[in-house]
Amino acid sequence: MNLALQGGGALGALTWGVLDRLLDERHLRIEAISGTSAGAMNAAALASGWVSGCRQGAQKTLSAFWEAVGTSSGSLPGSTRLLIDLSRLFSPSQLNPFDLNPLRKIISDHIDFKALQSRGAIKLFIGATRLRTGALRLFENPELSEDALLAPACLPTLNHAIEINGERY
């Protein structure tokens, strides 16, 4: 089976639930997963956990990842709406001059990139948009890194563009 996982913030958490149930199927064999934004996070978490613990490892990693996202989101100040409104008036470099992105630490803590680059890993195709041309760029297992996962999840009004090998996403 090949999976294509969409992005969309909260839809990522919904997809986590669907994947958790799908992983209960004993005869499931996942060949490849494509994803962008939250779909990229789910793809990487599933594949990372699969290498170390098959179905249960994938379920455990997905759960830990989304629980960390929920904990991080729960600590946002009550003025989140104000921040979103201000993002329409200011650039990310003005609004977030230190390029703070809590997702970076969550990815670092929960995704095993060496496992994703190993021989037995599920094939991943992570889609990001090139800032300069608007063209799609697919990152595959050997190229995966924190930045390659942050690139498709970059919110242009809140986050600085992610630069990989001189190209901004």
Q: pLDDT per residue over 28-81, tens digit each? A: 999 999 999 999 999 999 999 999 999 999 999 999 999 999 888 655 555 556
Residue 86 in this model has a pLDDT that exceeds 80: no
Structure tokens at 154: 């970059």
What is the model's pLDDT at position 156? 77
Between CA 157 and CA 151 the distance in angstroms is 14
Q: Nearest 5°: phi and psi at 148? A: -65, -25
If you average pLDDT over every residue of the chain, what do you get? Answer: 90
Which neighbouring-strand residues pair with 32? 2, 123
What is the model's pLDDT at position 79? 55
What is the model's pLDDT at position 95? 65
Q: What is the mean pLDDT of residues 133-156?
A: 95
Between CA 27 and CA 75 the distance in angstroms is 39
Phi-psi region of 118 (alpha: psi -120 to 50; beta: other; left: phi over 0): beta
Residue whose token pair is 């930045």: 147
Give the predicted TM-score (pTM) of the model: 0.87
Instruction: For residue 6, give the DSSP letter.
Output: -
